[in-house]
Chain A
Amino acid sequence: MNPSLRWFALFGTLAILVAVPWIAPATWVQFGISTLMLATLAQSWSIIGGYTGYASFGGSVFYGLGSYGTAIAMIEYHLPFGVGLILGALVAVTFAVLIGLPVLRLRGHYFAIATLALAQVVPAIVSNLDIAGRNIGLILPLLRNDALFYESALGLLVITTLSIWYISRSRFGFGLMAIRENEDAAAAMGVNTTLYKTLAFAIAALFSALSGGIHAYWITYIDPGGEFDITLNVKMIIMAVFGGPGSVLGPIAGAFLLSGVSEILSFKISSVASLFFGLVIVIAVVLMPRGLADLWHRYKKLGLHYFSENIRENRV
């Protein structure tokens, strides 16, 4: 595709996405909101997991903190939604910095597991707090305006993607990729690895928290099990990895494709939908381990050999 055609396709898709609340039925809009949020989460995971190479399983923590922060600000202090959203994001970013400093010293599986443990600890603490409504949860003021929520979710996704696009071609982004490829070498070349990693973690937390805040106001009822849902981590990771982590548009493609497939399946044959989802993961990991973005670039040259090439590269 030549560049002008590519821009045309990009803006065309964006225009269609913006128009969805006015042209599509209400169920589509609701499906759209949750898909856009998952896409934002996949994107924010891509910053820390894809570009920096730190496999975080803690995205749900920041999503939940953002959503609870927004809810508490609105209910306890009667602040407007916008202010609550910012406060929620602030809580999440502060937590990301404080927890990131010790946890980001761990590498590989160990980092993954420490964040997974955090994803279990934080909701357990929240469900013991009076201000957060303990296990029962919180009820937010009702606002029936799906179009507004849809457009805010879309806006957030666009902002997240633009930030990633900007990061990916900045000095900061190159520093993150250097950390992913070889952290010791990056440090030797003068990259302030602690600062870079913590910043990447905090940026990922920021976008997850904003997404959580919008979700809280949209869904109006939040509880620890729903907002700190651990499977959310797995979902965002699968979407990012399926799409191609460390590419600007890959995670979005992964989120839309996988959400779409799972929606169609659960509509047609609900019992085997999840089963099929699992099989898709297995097949995708074996045949296209670097995601859709890589398939897109190399399939044209290699054709069907692309798949056997991947297997040959990684088997014993």
Chain B
Amino acid sequence: MVLLWQVLANGILLGGLYALMALGLALVWGVLNIVNLAHGAFIMLGAYVCYYLFTVFHVDPFAALPAAMVVLFVVGYSLQRNVLNLIIRAPMFNTLLLTFGFEVVLTNLAQMIFSADYRTINPSYAGANFNLFGATIPLARILAFTTGLLLTSCLWFFLLKARLGRAIRATAQNLIAARLYGVETRKIYAITFGLGAALAGAAGDLYGLVSQINPYIGGSLTAKSFAICIIGGLQNPLGVVVGGIFLGVVESLTALYLGPTYTDVASFGILVLVLVLRPTGLLGRTA
């Protein structure tokens, strides 16, 4: 029973981070209709920003979080403004391919600059943990979990209330009407993509805190983020939280009961099932 609770707690904590990972992908997908295959590479870059700030300038990973977000925002904004905007109206396949091209370029640049070595970020509290109803909870993980949820709710309020957030939602709903009301779509697209990248940067910063990093982590993180978006649905940020926690719990439970080699079977099997049975996500409205 204690073991089960421990595994559940691990899964939920992992899920908070997963939610933040998928959030940026869901935002870009929902608003721009771009499935960004470079999303994992953005997460990887965020992790390296955190790593270098920590090892070279001794900046705490949580203090480095805004820096990672700003750097990735700039990367995302300029990629959308100068490249993606040129083909945004082409068939969906071209945007998919283009972002794959970004992935290849970023991963290989990272390998040339940062080397392929595994890196870890070890702040003084890395080993600290506390006991919650018998389960051991690492401090870094619960901090990452809370930050993830906090950023997710910030984004929700931003989209709901802020003028810019409403312009983004308007663009997603009806491009032509938004344009007629004076929304500058080119800029909104770039800002949205930049925001998505910034969220990936934040996720990467926290990912570096709880796991090892190298330039190649991007691919599998993109796949996971996909799965979460599908399970949760794209309608609102809450879906991503549910999807993230769901995936985290499923992965932990499968690792416990079926063995670690089955985690991918379980998570992606569920993804296929959800797609076929409920294409709008677990929380989505039925058509």
B287 sits at the interface (CB 8 A): no
Assess whether B268 is in contact with A275, with CB atoms less than 8 Å apart: no
Closest Cβ of chain A: how far from B221's Cβ, in Å?
Answer: 13
Q: What B residues does A135 contact at CB under 8 A?
A: 261
The complex places the Cα of A112 from the Cα of B275 at a distance, in Å, of: 11
**Are A315 and B85 in contact, with the CB atoms below 8 A?**
yes
Q: A108-B92, A271-B112 are in contact. Are A121 and B86 (CB under 8 A)?
A: no
- Which of the four size classes fits the interface of chain A? 35 or more
Please tell me if B272 contacts chain A, counting CB pairs below 8 Å: yes
Asked if A285 and B108 sit within 8 Å, CB to CB, the answer is no
A282, B83: Cβ atoms under 8 Å?
A: yes
B276 and A125 contact, CB distance less than 8 A: no
Q: Which residues of B contact A271 (CB under 8 A)?
A: 112
Task: Check B272 against A128 for contact (C-beta < 8 Å).
Answer: no
Does B143 interact with chain A (Cβ within 8 Å)? no
Compute how far the CA of A124 lies from the CA of B270 in the bound complex, rounded to whole angstroms: 14
Cβ-defined partner of A241 (8 Å) among B89, B97, B223, B279: B97
B235 within 8 A of A: no
Q: Which among A99-107, A151-159, A208-216 touches the partner chain?
A: A99-107
What interface size band does chain B fall in? Answer: 35 or more
**Nearest CB to that of A280 among chain B residues?**
B101
B279 and A314 contact, CB distance less than 8 A: no
Q: Are B92 and A106 closer than 8 Å at their CB atoms?
A: no
A117 proximal to B (CB < 8 A): yes
Which residues of the partner chain A approach B112 to less than 8 Å between Cβ atoms? 271-272, 275
Also in contact, A121 and B272, with CB within 8 A (given A285-B101, A311-B86): yes
* B87 CB–A CB distance under 8 Å: yes
Does A278 belong to the interface (CB within 8 Å)?
yes
- A residues less than 8 Å from B93 (CB atoms): 49, 55, 237, 241
CA distance A125 to B265 in the complex (A): 7
A-B contact pairs, 6 of them (CB 8 A): A117-B227, A124-B265, A278-B102, A289-B90, A314-B94, A315-B86
